[in-house]
Every structure is written in C-alpha cells, then in structure tokens.
Amino acid sequence: MEREAAELFEEFKELTASEFFRRNKQMLGFSGKIRSLTMVFHELITNSLDAAEEAGIQPEITIDLKRVDKDHYILKHTDNGPGIPKKFITKVYCTMFAGSKFRNIQSRGQQGLGCSGCVLLSQMTTGKPAKAVSGYYEGEKLKGVEMTFKMDVKKNQGLILDSKEVEVKNTGVSIELHFKDVSYSLSEQGAFEYIRRTMIANPHAKIRFRDPTGHKFIFERATDVIPPLPKEVLPHPRGVTADDLIFMAKHTDKRRFRSLLTSSLSRMSTKRVNEIEEATGIDLNKRPKDMKWEEAEKIVDLFSQMDFMAPPTSGLIPIGKDQIEKGMREILNPEFISTTTRKPKTYRGGVAFVIEAGISYGGDSGRLVGEQKKAEIMRFANRVPLTFDQGSCAITEALKSIDWKRYGIRDLDNAPITVFVNIVSTNVPYLSTGKQSIAPEAEILHEVRQATMKIARSLQKYIRAKKAAKEEALRSKIFENLVPVIIREAALLAETDVPEYDSVLAKVTRKAKFENIELESEGEDE
C-alpha cells in the first residue's frame, strides 16, 4: 500500500550546523588519528596567531600534550592574545559558523568552524567538558574568568557548567580539552611537524611545546616584526556572480542600484555604471530589491566583456622574502637559501593572489627517510601549513612539472632540499572544506612555476660554484702532495740542501674558500 505524502514527511527534520558536523566530522578534517590531532593543533594555533596580531601583540603560544592512555590525550593550549570577554567564550568555542572572519579579507581561517570543531571532537570522543581561562581588559580593568562548558549540539550553542572569576596576570586564553581516538606522531603529517612549519611562515611567533614524553621544545621567534593587518577589499566585478548581486541587493541600505554597484564593488566608477546602464537597457536608478535575476545575469555577462583595472592588492599582506628567509634559517639552518615574493596576479579574472617561494639546500633541509635525505615540499596558504592532501594540490602539481635537471637536481624526490610555497589571497581556492589543497587554477600553476624556477636558478649557480670550488681544492691538494716530493728530488739531484719549501708551496698552491665565492644575481622569468 502506498504511503501518503504527509506520512513520508513525518520524519522530516532540520539539522543545526553542529549536528551536521557531528555526523560528518571528516568535513572538518577530522579523519584518521594522526590527522585529527594535527587539525586540532592547526585550528587552535591559527586562532591564537590571528588574535594576537589583530591586537598588535607578538604571538607567544604554549602547548602541553599529555598522554593519559593509548590514543587518549589532554591538550592544554595557552596564548598571550587579547583574551575573550566572558559573554563571547561559548560563542567562540561552541557555535558553528560564528566569528569575525566572514569578510573579503586575507585571513588564516575563513569558515568560523575551527575552535568549535575542536570542542565538538573532544566531546564526541570523550564526553568530557572543555575548560577555558580567559584574561581580558574591560575598560582599563584586567579581568579573568574560568569557565567549564559543553556544546549543546541540538541548539548549536554553549552549555555553561561552571563559571567563576579568577585572578590573572596577563591577557590571553588557555583551553583544556580531552581527546580520544587521536594519535601524536613525528611524521610529516603529525602535530610536531605542523608546529615546525608554522614557525617558518610565522617567524614573528614563539611556541613552547611539551610532547607526550615530557620533552620540551622551544621554537624561538626569528624576527620582532609583527605583520601589518590586511585590509578588507571590495569584490572585483569579474569575480562576482548573478547570485552575489541579488544577495547584495537584498542586504544593502542603498536606495538605488547604481549606488550599490559603486559602493560594493571595486573598480566601479559612476562612468562605468552609466556604460552598464546604456549597454543593458536596465534602469539602475531602481531600488536594489526590485532587481530581477535575469537583469543580474545580464549585468554579470557584461562584466565579463568589459575591461576593468586589476583588483586592488593593498589588502594582501605577503610574508616577504626577507622574513621567509629568516624563518627558514631559524628552523632549517641551511647551507644555501633563496627566496622570492612575486607581484600580485589574478585568477578567474577578478581574484587577486600573490605567490611566495623559498628553497633551501643542506643543513636540516629536506626530510630524513631512513638514512637518506629526500626533498621536502612545504605548502602554505595565508601563512598556514597545508600538511595533507599533497598529491591533489596545485602547488605540488606545479613543482612536479618543473624540469629540475636543468637546475642541477637530478631527482627532486631524493634531493636534500626544502621547497617552500605560500599563496596569499582573500579567497584561496581550496579543493574541499578541509582546506588542505589548492585548486589547479591556470594562473596559480603558472605563478608557482615562475617563482620556483627563479629561486632554482640561484640554487643551480650555488651548486655549480660549490662543485668548481671542490675541484679547485682537489687540484690544490695534488700540488700540496707533489711539490714537496719534487723539491726534495731536485735538491738530491743538484747535490744541495733541501730548501725550506713552505714559502714556495704557498706560491703555487692555494686553498679554495667556497664561502667567499660571490654568486650572480637572480635571473628573470623564463
């Protein structure tokens, strides 16, 4: 017997964001024991870095990871940021899609899922509540609060179990979370490696870390320069869709659609608006709410045919070649290093981005596999390490497409080098919600190749110079060994005393000092 429609919909339910991600935690990156713990480190560290920088504070983070049992850990994460006011603590840690990052601005995190996702994972695997201590200023008074809470998944909000005022010496937040079904690892995808790579891209930070064995690591800052805050930028006409225009129209306080266009899009002048009105025949003096979908589509189609100036790039704050070098030197202690920051470009016609790259050779460059050094590819997006899904990432694809033999590297996989690539953008084109790999946009692939080939040329010159110096030293060694024999034999034939030959030897031999070799300047794009 067929069921009636009303009966079919009796079980129809709505899920909150928290309920959805409780059932689909892999979409937050929480899949696998090693990856889950690394993603927790990622979310908490990036949140602390953002908070400190926005307050103009040099970030300082302390992480204590204790093992309770196999695959059961207690994580205590403390920062020196501005702290979280009491009324916002549960919003930050217990509400999905809540935060201050939903703007067209360069940001480490862009989804409002990070910290709340960590609390959700903790609660799902242990059932234990989270405990946070926050020190913050209210007016000129330093206040402190200690709060124990859980996430109410049904309501997508926090449930406070205990809250009390406490004395604090400084601003900042300390949060303690329990986790099961996670694993600490020293592998390339592990939590320790995540910290190591974070320090290279954020040389202004300091991180103290105590691992489950009790070993303490201190990653010192390599620079005192706090990066300037990025600015929010307006979307570029080439980067918007008809749906974007309709959304803007429904949520604007402007009275006329022409005012909406000039105030909501970059590179949109009154002259341009008049051209759009003339070309489309649409009355742009109408109320934004009266804009129809077909009209929005017509305007967007025209955008794709018009010549606009490139989007403004003042909102993009790259790390900078000098700061990348400081970070790589501090962590890798390389024999040779070369870095570059490219000029801004755009993908999809209207989204600006910058590619930065660095390459190091020798020292602690590369990764040790058994007894062999292999190449290490470090991928970043807005200073954040991308430690998973390397094979599907545009950065990896671009690096693998380079003919490394041209640069003195026979086999990229087995070279003692570290290649660093960072993409900077207000809208990084991630392939998934896990935000671990970059989409293969043609312009991004091209820029990664150009940046890497530029620094590879510098490495090639270094390797050539080093080889030449080694050959010269070898020739010099031959002279050093043969000249004394020749002098002694000549003196014997001449029936005379063997002269003091050190001064003679100094004139015909010289030791090669490779460190004094001057390298040529870097070349241009290929």
Output the 3-class SS for 218-254.
Answer: EECCCCCCCCCCCCCCCCCHHHCCHHHHHHHHHCCCC
Rounded to the nearest 10 degrees, how much is the dihedral formed by the CA atoms of 380, 430, 260, 354?
30
| Among 494, 203, 136, residue whose Cα is nearest residue 356 | 203
d(CA 132, CA 89): 8
pLDDT given for residue 98 in this prediction: 54
Q: Supply the pTM of this predicted model.
A: 0.79
pLDDT given for residue 419 in this prediction: 96
Instruction: Give the residues across from 378 on adjacent strands.
Output: 420
Domains annotated for the chain, with CATH where assigned, are 17-219 (3.30.565.10), 237-305 (1.10.8.50), 321-461 (3.30.230.10), 465-516 (no CATH)
Determine which helix (DSSP H) or strand (DSSP E) holds 42, and give its type and residue range: helix 33-54
Amino acid of residue 261? L
d(CA 467, CA 207): 38
Cα 212 from chain centre: 26
Model pLDDT for residues 123-179, shown as the tens digit of each residue: 989 999 999 999 999 999 999 999 999 988 888 788 999 999 999 999 999 999 999
Amino acid of residue 420? F
pLDDT given for residue 371 in this prediction: 79
d(CA 307, CA 297): 18
Instruction: Give the residues across from 78 on adjacent strands.
Output: 62, 174
What DSSP character marks residue 432? S
pLDDT given for residue 223 in this prediction: 93
Category of 270 on φ-ψ map: left (φ > 0), alpha (ψ -120 to 50) or beta: alpha
pLDDT given for residue 101 in this prediction: 43
pLDDT given for residue 513 in this prediction: 44
d(CA 498, CA 92): 86
For the chain, the C-alpha Rg in angstroms (whole number) is 30
Instruction: Give the residues across from 95 on adjacent strands.
Output: none
pLDDT given for residue 342 in this prediction: 95
- Which residues touch 45 (CB under 8 Å, ≥6 apart)? 61, 63, 77, 194, 195, 198, 207
- Residue 148 tokens, joined: 């124990």
pLDDT given for residue 151 in this prediction: 87
Residues of the chain with pLDDT under 70: 1-30, 96-113, 469, 471-472, 475-476, 478-480, 501-526
Residue pair 357/419 in contact (Cβ under 8 Å)? The answer is: yes
Beta carbons within 10 angstroms of residue 305's beta carbon: 7
Extract long-range pairs of 365-373: CB within 8 Å, 24+ residues apart.
365/332, 365/334, 365/335, 365/416, 365/417, 365/418, 366/415, 366/416, 366/417, 366/418, 367/188, 372/414, 373/414, 373/415, 373/416
